Chain A
Amino acid sequence: MKPAPFEYHVPDSLEQALALLKEHGGDAKLLAGGQSLVPAMNFRVVQPGVLIDLNRVSELAYVRQDGENLRIGAMTRERTLEIDPLVAKQSPLLEEAMPHVAHPQIRNRGTLGGSLANADPAAELPVIMLALGARLKARNVSGERWMEAHDFFSGMFTTALAPDEILVEIELPPDLPHTGWSFMEVAPRAGDYALMGVAAQVTLDENGRCRQARLVYLNAGDGPVDAKEAAKILGGEMPNDDVIEAMAELVSRKEINPFGNIHASSDFQRHLAGVLTRKALKQAIERAGEDGLQ
C-alpha cells in the first residue's frame, strides 16, 4: 500500500504550478485534496512520474460574490462549500448535496476542483455543476478559457482540460425566481459512492407552470447524465403526478445507462432512478412553489 516512486513539487503560486505543469505535462498529476488520487496511487492504479501539490496555492481557495455570480476557487475544500453562507444563499442545491459527498473527514480535505477534474461518474459535484449551469475556468501559462459544465465532462474520468491546464475557478449563476431544488441519492452504506443519485432544479413561472427543469444523474453513465428529454416533458406544463410519472419512466428506461456492479444490477439502478426522480421532482416543485407563488 505504498505508491510507486515519483518526483514531488510543492509550488507556492499558481504561476509556479502552471510552469511546472508545462514542464512535465502528461507525466504529471496535480494533487488537490488527494482523496481519490492518493488511494489510487497507493493501489498503484495510477503511477505518475511527477506530483505537483497544489495545497500551498492559497490563491485558489476562496468563495466570493461577484455581482450576481458566485466565484469559487478550485482548491476550496468541500467542507467549506458545506458551511459557507454565500454558497447556501446562492445555491441551496449545492449546499444540500454536500453532506452526501463521502464522509466529513474526506470533505475536510477534498476540493471542488479536484472532484470536478477527477470526473468520477459516481461523484456528486459534477452532477451539481451541470444542474446549476456552472461555468469552469481553466488556465495554462499563456492564458485562460471558460467552459460550460456540459462541455467540461467528456467521459469516464476524463475532462476537456489539456495536459498543461489547471482548473482554477468555478462560476455559479444565481437561481431564477421560483426555482426549487432537490438532491437525493441511494448508497449501499452511509458515505459510499451512490448506486444512483439525482440533482433536480425546477423553475416555475408566475402561473405555476414549469418554465425550466433540469435533472442530472450520477452513476448513470460514463459521466453526469443530463436527462434532457425528461426535462422537456415538464416544460410549459403544470406539474402533476402523471407528468412526473412519465418523466420517471423516461429517465429510468431510456435516458440513463447505468452499468451495474457486483453489488447492484443495472435493473436495480434503473429502479432507483425512477424512485429518486419521483421524490426529487416532487420536492423541487414544492420548493419552487414556496417561493411566492399561489
Chain B
Amino acid sequence: MASQNIGQSIPRIDARSKVTGQAPYPGDLAMKGMLHMKVLFAERPHARVKSVDTSQAEAAPGVVAVYTAKDVPVNEYGLQIPDQPVLCGPTLTSPSGRGDGVRADIVRFVGDQIAVVAAQTEVQADAAVKLIRVEYEDLPILSDPVTAMKADAPILHPDRGDSNVCVHYKIRKGDVEDAFAKADVIVESEYHTPVQEHAYLQPEAGLSYIDEDGRVTIASGGQWTHADRAGIAHALGLPEEMVRVVYPAIGGAFGGREDLSVQIVLALATWKLQRPVKIIWSRRESIIGHGKRHPVTLKAKWGATKDGKLIAAENEIIGDGGAYMYTSNKVLGNSAITSTGPYFIPNVKTDVYGVYTNNVPGAAFRGFGAPQALYMAELQVNKLAEKLGMDPVEFRLKNALRDGDTMGVGTPAPNPCSVVEVVEAARDKFGWKKKRRPKAAGRGGAKNGLPPIVRGRGFAAGFKNVGFSFGYQENCWAKVEIHGNGKIEHVVLHHASAEVGQGTHTVMIQMAAQALDVPTNIVELKTSDSATQGNPGSVSASRMTFMAGNAIKGAAEAALAKWEAEERPAIAEFKYLAPRTTHMDEETGFSTPNFAYAYSAQAVEVEVDTETGHVRVLRVVAADDVGKAINPDLVIGQVEGGVVQAHGYAVTENFITKDGRVLTDQFSNYLLPTILDIPEKVETVLVEVPDPNGPWGARGVGELPFLPYAPAVAAAIHDATGVWINEFPFTPERVLRALGKI
C-alpha cells in the first residue's frame, strides 16, 4: 500500500507534553549542585570600560566565581563575523592571544555584558552583580544610521575599516535614467520601517554541565545546534568535539535565537568550575540583550508606462545594523533581492547599506530583510496603480514575475514562479472587485470629508527565498534506522533540527514515514543534539521542511536499499546538498542568489476610526504557495501566527529607543497585540505549486505570511482615508497626524 502521510494534519507529536506542561523548557531544567548565574549588563550605549572591580562581589555570600573579559579565552563571537566581545572589559587582547580582532574595552550597546557571577542561589548572584564596580568613560552615541554614515562620525569598529558602513550591496540592471525619461508616471517616496522585538514566550535561559564524556554541554534554546557549538567552542578555545549543544523544548525563536546569548558565559563557567550552572534572563534582559528586526529607511523612485508596465525602479535602503554584525550582511542582502517586489522590472538600480550604530543589533527576524523592502516595493506598486487609474491587483498581474523573467539580480527565479497563482488566489477568495468609486485623496479632503468610521481594502504580495543564499553550499544531514525482521517494525530518524514551535519535528516524522511507506506511529525521532547528529542547518530562511525533507528522503532511500539487501537493522546517513547559488557581483549584483522561492499575497479589509485614529483589521485573506502542505493544519498555524505577528509589527507594537536606550523594555509598554486586538478573521488559502527540488514539492512557509501584511494594511488605510502613510506602526496618533487632525 502507498501510505498517505503527506498532506495529512496529524496531531503534533509534542502536543500532549506541551499542553500538559511536561515538556521541559530550558528554565525548567535543574541539576544537583548547580550554580545560578547573573549577568552585569553595561546598560550604556557607548563607553570605554576603564576598570572593573569584582572584589566585593567575589566576597559576597554564596558567590563561587565572578568572570570578566580577562577570563574569556578567545573573547569574541558573532554568527557572521566575530566582532562582539563575549564580555567587555579593559583588556585589549584575549588571554589566549587569539581573537584580538575585536576591542573588548568598548561597550557598543546597552546589552553588552561586563561580567557574570555564579553563586549558590539566584538571589545571591543578583546581589553580587550589584557589587561589581565599573568605571566607564562615556563616548559619543551614534543612534541614527544616517549620521553614522557621515565621514566625521566616530568609528565604532576601527579594526574593521574607517567607516561605520558594514554592508553595501549594489544592483545595476538596464538603465534607470533612460527608463525614467520614457516613463509616463513616476512615484517617489521615502519610507521608514520600525524595530520589532521577537517577544518569544520563553526568555533566554539555559543549563550547562559536564556530560558523561567530559564535554561541556549547554542545554538552551537555539535555532542551529551546530552553529551554537562552533561559536561556543571558538570563544572557549576548545575543539568543537569538546562542546555539546542540546535543545530541550524551545519557547519560540523567530530568528531571535540565531545569535548566541547565554550560551558562551554558561559554558565558560561550567568549563572552569566543572559544575552545572543555570541562568534565566528576565524579560527586560531579553529585550535589551538580543537582536531585533532592523529599522530601515527606504527611498524609492519607480516608473511605469501608461499601459501599466513597470519599467524602472531606483532604491536606496539604509538599515540600522546596531552595534554588531549579527546577520546584517545576509538580512540586508535579502532586502536587496526583494527590493523590486515579485515583479519583472527591466531597469533597476538599488543600493543597500548596513550601518553600525550604538543601537541594539539588527538581527534575523521572520522575513529577514524582506518585510522592510517589500513595504517599500508594495506601496510603490499600489501608488503607481492609483496614479495610472488601474486596479492594484490587475497592475500586479500585469507585472508579476513569470517563469524566465529576470529578477533585479539579472537572473530568473527558479521555475515554477507562482506570483500569478497567489495573487489570483487571494483576489478570488477575498472577492476583490475592481475599484468601485474614486476617492478624494490628500490631507484636506481627508480632514474635512471623512465620516467617523471608514472602511477600506488593501492588497499586497511578497516572496521569500527558501534556504540559505549567496553562494553558501546549502546542506542538511539525516540518518534513518530501519528495525524489524520480515517487515519494518520500527524506524528511528536522527535529525538535529530545532523545534521552535513551528511543528518541524512532526513534519519530519511524516516525511520519514512517507519515504519508507510506513505509518507515522512507528517512527521515532532522536533530535537536537550536536554530539550524536550531523549538521541540520538552522531553522530559518523557511528552509527546514525543504532541507530536512530532502535529507530524510535520501537517508530513507539508502536505508531501504540496505533493508532490501537484508541488512538488519538497515541504517543509512545522507547529506543533502541543495543546488548551488552564487554571490552577488560587487558592482552589479548579478547572481543566482537562491535555489528556491515561495510566494505570498494578501488582501485585507480595515476599519479606521478617523476621530481616535484606531485601525482595526476586520478580515485577512492570505494566499501562500507552500509547494506542498505536508501537514495542512500546521501550515495554517504558521499563516495565522505570521499574520498576528505582522499585525503587531504593523499596528500595535512600536519599539521605541532614545539615544541607544530602549524605552519599551517590558511587556507593559511594548504593546504586543492581544486576542482582542488581532484581525477578526484570517482566511488561509493554501496554494500548492510544487517546487521541482522540494521534497514532495514542498517549498516553505515560516516567513511567507508575515511579508505582505504591513503594506496591505497601509493600502487599505489609504483606500479608507485617501492618505498614504509611509511610516509605521499605524498607531492611533500617527494615523491622526497623517489625517491632519492633530
A: which residues have CB within 8 A of B?
A: 1, 186, 188-192, 195, 262-265, 267-268, 271-272, 275, 279
Q: Which partner residue on chain B sits nearest A189 by CB separation?
A: B677
CB of A265 within 8 A of CB of B733, answer: yes
Residue in A1, A189, A271 whose beta carbon sits within 8 Å of that of B736 in the complex: A271
The interface residues of chain A lying within 8 Å CB-to-CB of B613 are 268
Q: Which partner residue on chain A sits nearest B122 by CB separation?
A: A2
CB of B612 within 8 A of CB of A189, answer: no
CB of B652 within 8 A of CB of A188, answer: yes
Given A191-B674, A271-B742, check contact A262 B663 (CB 8 Å). Answer: yes
Q: Which 6 A-B pairs have the closest CB atoms?
A: A190-B676, A268-B733, A275-B611, A271-B742, A186-B612, A189-B677
The interface residues of chain B lying within 8 Å CB-to-CB of A265 are 733
Does B656 sit within 8 A of A, measured CB to CB? yes
Residue in A186, A192, A267, A275 whose beta carbon sits within 8 Å of that of B671 in the complex: A192
Q: Which partner residue on chain B sits nearest A184 by CB separation?
A: B612
CB of B671 within 8 A of CB of A189, answer: yes
Nearest Cβ on chain B to A107's Cβ, whole angstroms: 14
The interface residues of chain A lying within 8 Å CB-to-CB of B78 are none
Given A190-B674, A190-B676, 11 additional A-B pairs, CB 8 A: A1-B282, A186-B612, A186-B732, A191-B676, A262-B664, A263-B733, A267-B742, A268-B732, A268-B736, A268-B742, A272-B612
CB of A188 within 8 A of CB of B732, answer: yes
Given A271-B741, A275-B611, check contact A189 B676 (CB 8 Å). Answer: yes
Q: Which partner residue on chain B sits nearest A39 by CB separation?
A: B668
The interface residues of chain A lying within 8 Å CB-to-CB of B674 are 189-191
Chain B 722-742 against A: per-residue CB contact (8 Å), 1 yes, 0 no?
000000000111001000011
B: which residues have CB within 8 A of A?
A: 282, 611-614, 652, 654, 656, 663-664, 669, 671, 673-674, 676-677, 731-733, 736, 741-742
The interface residues of chain B lying within 8 Å CB-to-CB of A263 are 654, 656, 669, 671, 731, 733
Cα distance A203–B725 when bound, in Å? 43
12 contacts between A and B (CB under 8 A): A186-B612, A188-B732, A189-B673, A189-B677, A190-B674, A190-B676, A191-B676, A262-B656, A263-B733, A264-B733, A268-B736, A271-B736
Nearest Cβ on chain B to A185's Cβ, whole angstroms: 10
Instruction: Give the one of A1, A264, A272, A279 with max B CB within 10 A.
Output: A272
Cα distance A195–B612 when bound, in Å? 11
Q: Which partner residue on chain A sits nearest B741 by CB separation?
A: A271
The interface residues of chain B lying within 8 Å CB-to-CB of A271 are 736, 741-742
Given A262-B663, A272-B612, check contact A188 B671 (CB 8 Å). Answer: yes
Given A190-B677, A262-B669, A268-B742, check contact A275 B612 (CB 8 Å). Answer: yes
The interface residues of chain B lying within 8 Å CB-to-CB of A267 are 742
The interface residues of chain A lying within 8 Å CB-to-CB of B612 are 186, 272, 275
The interface residues of chain B lying within 8 Å CB-to-CB of A186 are 612, 614, 732
Cα distance A264–B656 when bound, in Å? 12
The interface residues of chain B lying within 8 Å CB-to-CB of A262 are 656, 663-664, 669
Nearest Cβ on chain A to B607's Cβ, whole angstroms: 14
Q: Which partner residue on chain A sits nearest B731 by CB separation?
A: A263
The interface residues of chain A lying within 8 Å CB-to-CB of B742 are 267-268, 271
Instruction: Give the one of B613, B731, B732 with max A CB within 10 A.
Output: B732
Q: Which partner residue on chain A sits nearest B666 by CB separation?
A: A43
Nearest Cβ on chain A to B552's Cβ, whole angstroms: 42
Cα distance A186–B664 when bound, in Å? 20
Cα distance A265–B611 when bound, in Å? 16
The interface residues of chain A lying within 8 Å CB-to-CB of B611 are 275, 279
Instruction: Give the one of B673, B676, B731, B733 with max A CB within 10 A.
Output: B733
Cα distance A271–B612 when bound, in Å? 8
Nearest Cβ on chain B to A193's Cβ, whole angstroms: 9
Instruction: Give the one of A190, A275, A279 with max B CB within 10 A.
Output: A275
Instruction: Give the one of A188, A191, A262, A264 with max B CB within 10 A.
Output: A188
Q: Which partner residue on chain A sits nearest B613 by CB separation?
A: A268
The interface residues of chain B lying within 8 Å CB-to-CB of A1 are 282
Cα distance A272–B671 when bound, in Å? 20
Q: Which partner residue on chain B sits nearest A272 by CB separation?
A: B612
Nearest Cβ on chain B to A4's Cβ, whole angstroms: 10
Nearest Cβ on chain B to A238's Cβ, whole angstroms: 25
Nearest Cβ on chain A to B739's Cβ, whole angstroms: 11
Cα distance A263–B612 when bound, in Å? 14
The interface residues of chain B lying within 8 Å CB-to-CB of A279 are 611
Nearest Cβ on chain B to A186's Cβ, whole angstroms: 5
Cα distance A271–B736 when bound, in Å? 10
Instruction: Give the one of A190, A195, A263, A264 with max B CB within 10 A.
Output: A263
Cα distance A272–B674 when bound, in Å? 23
Nearest Cβ on chain A to B359's Cβ, whole angstroms: 16
Cα distance A20–B674 when bound, in Å? 41
